[in-house]
Each structure stands twice: as C-alpha cells, then as structure tokens.
Amino acid sequence: MKIGFIGLGNMGGGMAANLAKAGHEVHAFDLSGEALAKAGAAGCHPVSDAADAVKHMEAVVTMLPAGKHVRSVYANDVVINAGPGTLVLDCSTIDVDSARDVAEMAKAKGILPVDAPVSGGIAAANAGTLTFMVGGSEEAFKRAEPILSDMGKAVIHAGDSGAGQAAKICNNMLLGASMIATCETFKMAEKLGLNLQTFYDISSKASGQNWSMTSYCPVPGVGPQSPADNGYTGGFAAALMLKDLRLAMEAAASAGAEVPMGAAAAKLYEQYAETNEQGGMDFSGIINMLGNS
Ligand code: NAD
C-alpha cells in the first residue's frame, strides 16, 4: 500500500520503519533532515515536501508533537492534497477538540479520518507493539485496522471521531493519579517501619493492587524490573505525563467533569517535571518528591 508518513521523531521513526518492514511503500516527511535520513535507512522513501507524502497516497499517518502541529499540517498539507476516499490516521496525542476539528475538515473533503493515539513508548514503537485507541466511523476503522496492526499489538475502536483521544487521556489521568498514590503509599509504609518488599508482597495480593505497583513499581529492587531499577530513566517521561494530564484537565473543563484526583495529579506532576529538568526522568521518579518532609 502507498502510505504517507509525516513526523518521524522518537515515535514516528520506528512506526514508519515498521510499515516499510511490513511491505508498504512509505513516503516519509519530517522537518528534520536527520529524521528523514534515518527513515531512508530504515526502508522508507524520504520526501522533501509534505505534499509529496500526501498526494497519490492511499493512507497518510501523522505523528506530531501537539494539537497545533496537527491542525497546521492538516490545514496546509493533508486536506489540500489528499484525494477523496484517502484514509488519514493521526496517531499523535492531542486535545479532543483539535482531533474533532481536523476530522471535520477531512470529512468535508470526502477524506476518511481516524484519531489513533497510542499507549506504549519508544521501545514499543520500535518493536511494533503499540496499543492504538481509535476514534472514527466503522468504515474508517475497518480500513485503519490492518495498517495500525502493522505497528502495534492491539487496535481498539473507542467510538466516533475524538473517542481515541478521549480514551487515551482518561487512561493516562488514571495512570498519573494511581502512580502518585502508589508512590506516597510506599513512602508512608517506609516511615511506618514496614519492609517495602513485605508490603509489596501483601498489597500486590490485596485490594490496593494496581498496575503502577505490580507492573511498574516505583521502588528500586521491588516488583518486576522497571525504570526505578535504572535510576528512573528509560520509561515514560514525566514531561509527557504532564502533557497528558494538562490535556485531561482541558477535556474535563470542556466536558464539565469534576476530577479532583486528576487535578491534584496534574499539579504534582507540574511541580515535579518543571523542577531541575526532572521532566526527562521517568514519571515514576515522582516518588523522590513525595512523602519526604
Ligand atoms: P518527537 O518530538 O520526537 O517527534 C515529533 C516529530 O515531528 C519531530 O521529528 C519533528 O521534527 C516533527 N514535526 C514537527 N512539526 C512538523 C511538521 N509541520 N511537519 C513535519 N514534521 C514535523 O515526539 P515523539 O516522542 O515522537 O511524540 C509524538 C507524539 O506521540 C506526541 O503527540 C506524543 O505525546 C505522543 N506519544 C509519545 C510517546 C513517547 O514515549 N515519546 C508515547 C506515547 C505517545
């Protein structure tokens, strides 16, 4: 299949390479010459103009930093150059309103849009094991599924346009809050004189059990191997968690949802990520800021 790919950064680079590996003809564009060269080495056809990653393509994937980039690329490159019936897949994490707006722009031109944000980081993008949460019509989802499957291990239809982004930020708000709750609980257990491995053995089999504890334990040496065992590096950056929590706060305000725990998590990640360049640390590193006084 002829697929255009715009945005070949940390995530998009590996995803475009996996599409090429699956046998697609991938016309890849990025503003960065270095990213373009890497995509060329990974089997894609680098193009020097975004229009060439859209014209005559059956599908176009975008993987860009934020909503403003997606709005601009859709308005200036994608919607203008894509023919009717082209499938467009935005895999970036952006606000729900932008996702719905660009989908409307596309639909008005007879283009089939899906928002398909991902769960999983750079390692999963490289390995082709991402999980995609997809918003769009039944027809668009049916066409998107095989393409997304070439880059991931799970592709789930969340609902109509914007539903993929909604599912992603709801999930990450829950993750941010549960990570903080897990961190402060281990700190308190320590202050109460509990052995942390013993507390893990109990709580991981009791009602406090949660993913942040049993799959991604923020305490070094406890639970399975995690970024905590690697100096809080190599996982999901605190700056990206903060980005997702801010998107969640925007969405909550726009939907009129009360989210006191999510709001507290957003505040604490702001405090953590915006101090001493900790935004680059794994998000479980917030344990080092909590429960110390
Ligand atoms: P990145 O900054 O590494 O890559 C973005 C790329 O987009 C860059 O190479 C940049 O040059 C390119 N770009 C920006 N504007 C462009 C334009 N107008 N035309 C063409 N290229 C343009 O970011 P990333 O880590 O790959 O993340 C991409 C998206 O995936 C973000 O929305 C992020 O929130 C989401 N995400 C990231 C992770 C992660 O672990 N990195 C995990 C899940 C989701």
- The CATH code of the domain that includes 201 is 1.10.1040.10
The strand pairing partners of 2, in sequence order, are 25
> Is the same domain home to 139 and 201?
no
Which atom from ligand 1 is nearest to the alpha carbon of 117?
Answer: 44
pLDDT reported for residue 293: 63
Which residue's CA lies nearest to atom 7 of ligand 1? 7
230 lines ligand 1 (CB under 6 A): no
- What CATH number is attached to the domain comprising 27? 3.40.50.720
> Is the same domain home to 155 and 284?
no
> Is the same domain home to 10 and 152?
yes
> Is the same domain home to 145 and 276?
no
> Is the same domain home to 247 and 176?
yes
pLDDT reported for residue 200: 98
Residues annotated as catalytic are 168
The candidate with the shortest Cα–Cα distance to 134, out of 159, 153, 100, is 159
pLDDT reported for residue 49: 96
pLDDT reported for residue 291: 76
pTM of the model: 0.94
Distance CA 285, CA 212 (A): 12
Chain centroid to CA 54: how far?
Answer: 23
> Is the same domain home to 239 and 288?
yes
> Is the same domain home to 85 and 125?
yes
> Is the same domain home to 287 and 202?
yes
Of 106, 131, 160, the residue that ends a domain is 160
Identity of the residue numbered 97: D
The strand pairing partners of 28, in sequence order, are 5, 46
Distance CA 123, CA 118 (A): 12
Question: 128-183: per-residue pLDDT in tens?
Answer: 999 999 999 999 999 999 999 999 999 999 999 999 999 999 999 999 999 999 99
Which residue's CA lies nearest to atom 36 of ligand 1? 93
pLDDT reported for residue 276: 84
Q: What is the domain range of residue 241?
A: 166-292
> Is the same domain home to 178 and 230?
yes
pLDDT by 10-residue block (mean), the chain, 293 residues: 97 97 98 97 97 98 96 97 97 96 98 96 93 98 98 98 97 97 97 98 98 96 95 92 96 96 98 92 96 71
Question: What is the number of structural domains in the chain?
Answer: 2
Of 134, 160, 186, the residue that ends a domain is 160
What's the per-residue H, E or C state across the chain?
CEEEEECCCCCHHHHHHHHHHCCCEEEEECCCHHHHHHHHHCCCEECCCHHHHCCCCCEEEECCCCHHHHHHHHHHHHHHHCCCCCEEEECCCCCHHHHHHHHHHHHHCCCEEEECCEECCHHHHHHCCEEEEEECCHHHHHHHHHHHHCCEEEEEEEECCCHHHHHHHHHHHHHHHHHHHHHHHHHHHHHCCCCHHHHHHHHCCCCCCCHHHHCCCCCCCCCCCCHHHHCCCCCCEHHHHHHHHHHHHHHHHHHCCCCHHHHHHHHHHHHHHCCCCHHHCEHHHHHHCCCCC
> Is the same domain home to 230 and 280?
yes
11 lines ligand 1 (CB under 6 A): yes
> Is the same domain home to 207 and 147?
no
> Is the same domain home to 256 and 205?
yes
16 lines ligand 1 (CB under 6 A): no
Of 160, 185, 202, the residue that ends a domain is 160
pLDDT reported for residue 76: 97
